[in-house]
Amino acid sequence: MCAEADVIIAEPYLKYGDEPYTQQYGGCGEKGQYIHFTPNFIRNSSLTQIYGPKEKVFVHEWAHLQWGVFDEYNQLVPYYLSNGKYEAT
């Protein structure tokens, strides 16, 4: 898909379902291609129980798009030791 818009609302892809995502091909710090939301995510308020408030999801995805930020959370190991100090992932 070649996108010219920063935010696309389109039917889900099998890989992601209704999960919002930002298409990124570059490295950290490089702008992404677009943010993808599904019509179901936009219309269905029950999905906030899974993904969180829509405004927070948008800001999260915008950081991926604009600044090439990658997710760095880990449910299995939520903290790591760095220079003798515990840090959150």
pTM of the predicted structure, to 2 decimals: 0.76
Residues 38-87 have pLDDT tens digits of 999 999 999 999 999 999 999 999 999 999 988 876 667 666 667 887 77
The single residue of 55, 61, 72, 87 carrying the catalytic annotation is 61
Residue 27 phi/psi, 5-degree rounding, is: -90, -175
61 catalytic per annotation: yes
Domain boundaries, the chain: 7-79
For 10, 17, 43, 45, the CA distances from 40, given in Å and listed in that order, are 9, 10, 5, 9
